[in-house]
């Protein structure tokens, strides 16, 4: 057993829209500006907030998710990624104790307990004075395993308002106020139908977030927050696995060994496709893959690769540019017909369709799969998803249970079911049609579910193995 001393805090709130993201981004910006090495984390499944947190800190933001991962995996992932930093900051999600059931499974509180981290509670103080103490006290004592160590007051009206709030928390709660963000301050980060806009899409937006973070950080008590973080207890756990085993299960998983020679795996990375967990890319590399980036907006042909991974993103926002790149789309379609292994998630599924329709306009896509996609005004699938494998593929075997998440405003239409099979039966969530997810065609699996390599450790090995087999057959 080893002990690890890692200063850390969780930024949480009583409910969503309390100003948690503003406070977290402000804290990261302030720490970075002060010269601290800071590792960001996001509780739960999310790609967009982490993209901003990655930009601000210069380190890949990691996701900690107790629905997808067990506690041992969470603690190992956390410790290993924070060993060389001065402080770790976790941004929570929803309300502190909100989870998938009455026990709070999957909540921010569960993550705080798993990594023994103190909590900074961000409170929207609109039209509130002394009652703030009752609210904070309730969160302090609701779960003895969660330590609320400080409060950040948001939307404070004026100095008198601040004085009352501070006095109430001091008298009845006995914990410090570690930030006061005035009402009327604008920390606007533009958003769209799935939340904030990813950091890599627009330099002007990125600059706006940098400015918002810098301004928000000016209202935080940085020395006080650092002191709270440094008082976090040591984490005691077994020896960490090596850096080249991101799946947490050793080098030989179900008879699958990492490829000895490099298998080239295309990864679609551009402004349209940004939704990738760093652990997924690390798992592919650890399994023997050489990752080859593909830009759907610029590249005119597919590189010479043995497999492809097409993650999520916003292809609908760049549909005209993607559609105009006919040479790349045709080349990819031909490779798929020849048996190229392709794993696609959400935006990747949309990209492989015949077309994307939005606001009365259709744009042709790769046409590799026999269906169209239409954008809707409301989410069609949102939240965690559990899947049962019903048809085997290069990536999963019949009977396996798979956990992931989905968040899509699009739906599949005009699906020619005679030409495909479904990989998964949906046991929780929506998927493609409420019953199934994962279109299987040739050597392609395209689904709405997003998977995390720490929750599905065989996935990377199998994708690389499929690429190696394909390379040997050519």
Rounded CA gap, 284 and 328, in Å? 24
Rounded CA gap, 39 and 55, in Å? 11
**CB distance 354 to 389 below 8 Å:** no
Question: What was the pLDDT predicted at 246?
Answer: 46
**CB distance 371 to 416 below 8 Å:** yes
Question: What was the pLDDT predicted at 16?
Answer: 92
Helix (H) / strand (E) containing 425 = strand 421-428
Helix (H) / strand (E) containing 12 = strand 8-12
Rounded CA gap, 178 and 240, in Å? 34
- Nearest 5°: CA angle at 280, between 233 and 82? 20
**CB distance 341 to 264 below 8 Å:** no
- Label residue 191 exposed, middle or buried (CB < 10 Å: 0-12, 13-18, 19+): exposed
Rounded CA gap, 105 and 119, in Å? 17
Mean pLDDT of the chain: 92
Rounded CA gap, 424 and 137, in Å? 45
Question: What was the pLDDT predicted at 258?
Answer: 55
Distance (Å) of CA 65 to CA 74, 176, 395 = 7, 28, 23
Q: Which residue has the tokens 């930009």?
A: 55
The CB-based long-range contact list for 413-418 (8 Å cut-off, 24+ gap) reads: 413/371, 413/372, 413/373, 413/374, 414/354, 414/371, 414/372, 415/370, 415/371, 415/439, 416/370, 416/371
* Residues 45-65 pLDDT 10s: 999 889 889 989 999 999 999
**CB distance 115 to 235 below 8 Å:** yes
Rounded CA gap, 81 and 282, in Å? 12
pLDDT category at 239 given cuts 50, 70, 90 is confident
Question: What was the pLDDT predicted at 163?
Answer: 98
Question: What was the pLDDT predicted at 215?
Answer: 82
Question: What was the pLDDT predicted at 250?
Answer: 35
Rounded CA gap, 123 and 156, in Å? 10
* Residues 143-196 pLDDT 10s: 999 999 999 999 999 999 999 999 999 999 999 999 999 997 766 555 544 455
Please give the average per-residue pLDDT across 392-421, as a whole number. 96
Please give the average per-residue pLDDT across 15-41, as a whole number. 94
Greater confidence (262 vs 271) lies with 271
Please give the average per-residue pLDDT across 346-353, as a whole number. 98
Rounded CA gap, 67 and 384, in Å? 8
Question: What was the pLDDT predicted at 413?
Answer: 97
Collapsed DSSP state (helix, strand, coil) of residue 467: helix
Strands (E), 48-205: 62-64, 87-91, 119-124, 148-156, 177-182, 191-192, 195-196
**CB distance 339 to 356 below 8 Å:** no
Please give the average per-residue pLDDT across 320-337, as a whole number. 98
Q: Is the pLDDT of residue 448 over 60?
A: yes
Q: Of the given ranges (54-63, 156-165, 246-255, 257-266), which has the lowest mean pLDDT? A: 246-255
Question: What was the pLDDT predicted at 252?
Answer: 38
Tell me if residue 173 is catalytic.
Answer: no
Q: Which residue has the tokens 């996701």?
A: 63
Collapsed DSSP state (helix, strand, coil) of residue 226: helix
Please give the average per-residue pLDDT across 371-393, as a whole number. 96
pLDDT category at 458 given cuts 50, 70, 90 is very high
Question: What was the pLDDT predicted at 211?
Answer: 76
Exactly one of 61, 173, 346, 447 is catalytic; name it.
Answer: 346
* Residues 70-95 pLDDT 10s: 999 999 999 999 999 999 999 999 99
- The two tokens of residue 453 are 């390599």
Q: Across the strands, what pairs with 256?
A: 253
**CB distance 346 to 379 below 8 Å:** no
Question: What was the pLDDT predicted at 191?
Answer: 56
Q: Of the given ranges (196-200, 236-240, 361-365, 449-453), which has the lowest mean pLDDT? A: 196-200
* Residues 96-136 pLDDT 10s: 999 989 999 999 999 999 999 999 999 999 999 999 999 99
Question: What was the pLDDT predicted at 388?
Answer: 98
Q: Of the given ranges (27-41, 187-201, 258-272, 315-329), which has the lowest mean pLDDT? A: 187-201
Q: Across the strands, what pairs with 152?
A: 122, 179
Rounded CA gap, 149 and 383, in Å? 30
Q: Across the strands, what pairs with 355?
A: 364
Please give the average per-residue pLDDT across 236-244, as a whole number. 72
């Amino acid at each position: 057993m080893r002990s690890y001393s890692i200063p850390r805090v969780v930024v949480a709130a009583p409910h969503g829209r309390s100003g948690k993201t503003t406070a977290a981004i402000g804290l990261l910006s302030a720490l970075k500006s002060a010269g601290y090495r800071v590792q960001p984390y996001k509780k739960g499944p999310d790609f967009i907030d982490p993209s901003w947190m990655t930009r601000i800190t210069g380190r890949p933001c990691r996701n900690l998710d107790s629905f997808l991962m067990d506690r041992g995996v969470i603690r190992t992932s956390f410790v290993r990624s924070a060993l060389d930093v001065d402080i770790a900051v976790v941004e929570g999600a929803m309300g502190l104790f909100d989870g998938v059931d009455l026990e709070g499974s999957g909540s921010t509180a569960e993550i705080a307990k798993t990594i023994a981290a103190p909590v900074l509670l961000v409170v929207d103080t609109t039209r509130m004075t002394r009652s703030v103490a009752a609210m904070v006290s309730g969160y302090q004592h609701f779960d003895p395993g969660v330590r609320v160590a400080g409060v950040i007051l948001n939307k404070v009206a004026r100095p008198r308002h601040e004085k009352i709030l501070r006095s109430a928390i001091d008298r009845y709660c006995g914990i410090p106020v570690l930030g006061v963000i005035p009402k009327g301050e604008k920390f606007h980060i533009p958003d769209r139908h799935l939340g904030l806009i990813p950091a890599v899409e627009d330099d002007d937006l990125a600059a706006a977030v940098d400015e918002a973070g810098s301004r928000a950080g000016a209202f935080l008590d940085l020395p006080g927050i650092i002191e709270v973080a440094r008082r976090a207890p040591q984490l005691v756990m077994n020896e960490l696995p090596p850096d080249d085993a991101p799946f947490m299960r050793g080098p030989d998983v179900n008879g699958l060994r990492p490829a000895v020679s490099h298998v080239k795996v295309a990864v679609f990375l551009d402004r349209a496709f940004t939704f990738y967990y760093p652990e997924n890319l690390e798992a592919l590399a650890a399994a023997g893959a050489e990752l080859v980036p593909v830009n759907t907006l610029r590249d005119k042909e597919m590189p010479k690769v043995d497999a492809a991974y097409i993650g999520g993103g916003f292809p609908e926002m760049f549909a005209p540019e993607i559609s105009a790149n006919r040479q790349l789309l045709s080349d990819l379609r031909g490779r798929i017909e020849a048996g190229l292994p392709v794993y696609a998630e959400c935006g990747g599924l949309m990209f492989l369709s015949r077309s994307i329709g939005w606001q009365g306009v259709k744009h042709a896509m790769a046409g590799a799969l026999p269906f169209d996609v239409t954008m809707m005004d409301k989410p069609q699938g949102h939240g965690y998803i559990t899947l049962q494998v019903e048809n085997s593929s290069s990536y999963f075997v019949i009977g396996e249970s798979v956990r992931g998440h989905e968040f899509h405003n699009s739906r599949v239409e005009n699906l020619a079911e005679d030409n495909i099979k479904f990989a998964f039966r949906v046991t929780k969530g929506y998927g493609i049609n409420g019953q199934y997810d994962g279109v299987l065609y040739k050597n392609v699996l395209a689904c709405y579910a997003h998977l995390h390599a720490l929750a599905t450790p065989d996935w990377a090995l199998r994708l690389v193995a499929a690429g190696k087999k394909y390379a040997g057959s050519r």
